[in-house]
Amino acid sequence: MTVNSNELQVKGCKVTPQRRLILDILSNAESHVLTAEEIVNQARAIQPNISASTIYRNLGTLTELGLLKRLDSMGEGWRYEINSGHHHHLVCLKCHNAVSIDFCPMSREVKELAEQSGFEVADHSFEIRGYCINCRVGDKKGEGAQDLVGDER
Amino acid sequence: MTVNSNELQVKGCKVTPQRRLILDILSNAESHVLTAEEIVNQARAIQPNISASTIYRNLGTLTELGLLKRLDSMGEGWRYEINSGHHHHLVCLKCHNAVSIDFCPMSREVKELAEQSGFEVADHSFEIRGYCINCRVGDKKGEGAQDLVGDER
DNA sequence: GTACTTGCAAAGATTTTGCAAGTAT
DNA sequence: ATACTTGCAAAATCTTTGCAAGTAC
């Protein structure tokens, strides 16, 4: 999943190296969903004097434009991913990898069930947490092979 | 759902007025899931000189003891509720009321689907967001009948 | 050339921590 | 009596904002 610069222009926003960098980091993260902090760190590994506020501002901007999607994060602030449509995730509790799944629990039956009480359904979230195949191999509690840290590009 | 003082003692922790207050607020909230800030505010309405740090500390402690459950909150910090077993919520985007639902998307099929990739399922979350029947009546965007504010006991 | 962006530094907001005083058991 | 808790104030985080300088178009 890559976002090219055209998509930025089409949205009526200027293509700056900082914005490209953010989008590239998230694109390369592929199966990752990164926190703002992680994006700042990875961006600094490439462009050391990029400002954190620039990144925070752009994460907001790009999310509003619909290029990024914000997920909540069990209390660790927001996590961001390239917006590639509606889907849910398997999230590894050790390495924080997030891989998309096709299954969506919001069937017509479930929606109707919710609506029985007069509730108007607007949105939903679903997330499965556990341990990915890589992290199951080692010790689940260990701090071993955290693949989020490091340069990642 | 009420937590009596015995449960605190059984967990090997002292029964202080502050802890009772926190549990009472959350018990009375019934269908509410409150943020730390809301709990602080409600607590202060009753015991004005209670310290916010006491509440933060106790929310942590009570969660570790399993008396409370922490939910994440689309970026607004944690929300807390009395731990009354596994269930999911319909959350109103206007008044933030959270009502429990019985339906759980984690069927055996879904679990197996997740496990096909070698993922070990540990946990999951599911939340339906929208507008509760009370809030549908009025203007959804208005700030009108926020029933979280106020003294609530 | 001009409006939008950036970096910096400072301000905000929220949560955590150290420590002496207070309290439940 | 004593170990656990509290309140206070200070620190630590994380995120936002104001503004002058810089940049994409």
DSSP B145: T
Query: DSSP string covering A19-33, please?
Result: HHHHHHHHHHHTT--
The two three-digit tokens of residue A19, written as one number:
């914005």
Per mean pLDDT, which range of A21-30, A44-53, B28-37, B120-129 is the poorest? Answer: B28-37
Query: If pLDDT is split at 50, 70 and 90, which confidence band does A104 have?
Result: very high
Residue B26 and residue B151 in contact, taking contact as beta carbons nearer than 8 Å:
no
Query: If pLDDT is split at 50, 70 and 90, which confidence band does A11 have?
Result: confident
Three-state secondary structure along B32-91?
Answer: CCEEHHHHHHHHHHHCCCCCHHHHHHHHHHHHHCCCEEEECCCCCCCEEEECCCCCEEEE
Q: What pLDDT does residue A40 have?
A: 94
Q: What pLDDT does residue B30 have?
A: 62
The two three-digit tokens of residue B81, written as one number:
């509720």
Q: What pLDDT does residue A30 have?
A: 63
Residue A82 and residue A67 in contact, taking contact as beta carbons nearer than 8 Å:
yes
**Which residue in chain B is spatially nearest to A98 when comparing CA positions?**
B119
Shortest CB distance from A119 goes to which of B90, B119, B125? B90
- Is the CB of B107 within 7 Å of strand C? no
If asked whether residues B119 and B92 sit together in one domain, one would say yes
If asked whether residues B66 and B99 sit together in one domain, one would say no
If asked whether residues B58 and B1 sit together in one domain, one would say yes
Dihedral sign, Cα of residue B112, residue B114, residue B116, residue B120: negative
List pLDDT tens digits, range A109-140: 999 999 998 999 998 999 999 999 988 876 54
User: Which candidate, A128, A90, A87, A130, places its Cα nearest to that of A106?
Assistant: A87
Q: What pLDDT does residue B110 have?
A: 95
**For the domain that residue A119 is a member of, what is the CATH number?**
3.30.1490.190
If asked whether residues B66 and B120 sit together in one domain, one would say no
Question: Strand C: which nucleotides have any atom within 7 A of a protein Cβ?
Answer: 4-10, 14-18, 23-25
Query: d(Cα A1, Cα A24) in Å, to the nearest integer?
Result: 10
Is a pLDDT exceeding 50 seen at residue A143?
Answer: no
Query: d(Cα A64, Cα B151) in Å, to the nearest integer?
Result: 35
Please state the pTM of the whole predicted model: 0.79
List pLDDT tens digits, range A63-83: 999 999 998 766 667 889 999
Task: Please enumerate, as own/partner, the contacts of B12-18 that have beta carbons within 8 Å and a separation of 24 or more.
Answer: B13/B61, B13/B65, B17/B47, B18/B43, B18/B47, B18/B50, B18/B54, B18/B55, B18/B58
Q: What pLDDT does residue B33 have?
A: 87
Number of other residues whose CB lies within 10 A of the CB of residue A30: 12
If asked whether residues A49 and A114 sit together in one domain, one would say no
**In a 10 Å sphere around its CB, with 0-12 CB exposed, 13-18 middle and 19+ buried, how is residue A53 labelled?**
exposed
If asked whether residues A79 and A92 sit together in one domain, one would say no
Q: Residue B52: which domain range?
A: 1-85
If asked whether residues A143 and A125 sit together in one domain, one would say yes
Of B62, B85, B108, the position where a domain reaches its end is: B85
Q: What pLDDT does residue B139 have?
A: 58
If asked whether residues B79 and B113 sit together in one domain, one would say no
If asked whether residues B80 and B14 sit together in one domain, one would say yes
Query: If pLDDT is split at 50, 70 and 90, which confidence band does A146 have?
Result: very low
If asked whether residues B114 and B151 sit together in one domain, one would say yes
Q: Which residues of chain B have pLDDT under 50?
A: 140-153
Q: Looking at the 3D structure of chain B, how many domains does it have?
A: 2
Q: What pLDDT does residue A74 have?
A: 65
Residues of B at the A interface, defined by Cβ within 8 angstroms: 70, 72-75, 77-78, 90, 92-93, 99, 101, 103, 105-106, 110, 113-114, 117-133, 136
Q: What pLDDT does residue A94 have?
A: 82
User: In Å, what is the separation between the CA of B54 and the C1' of C11?
Assistant: 26
Q: In angstroms, what is the C-alpha Rg of chain B?
A: 17
Contacts of B125 in chain A (CB under 8 A): 125-127, 129
Distances in Å between the Cα of A107 and the Cα atoms of A85, A111, A113 are 17, 6, 10
How long a stretch of residues is chain A?
153
Question: Which nucleotide is nearest, taking the CA of residue A76 and each C1'?
Answer: D14
Subunit contact B126:A128, Cβ cutoff 8 A: no
Q: What pLDDT does residue B77 have?
A: 75
Kindly state the average pLDDT of the residues A86-108: 89
Three-state secondary structure along A84-134?
Answer: CCCCEEEEECCCCCEEEECCCCCCHHHHHHHHCCCCEEEEEEEEEEEECHH
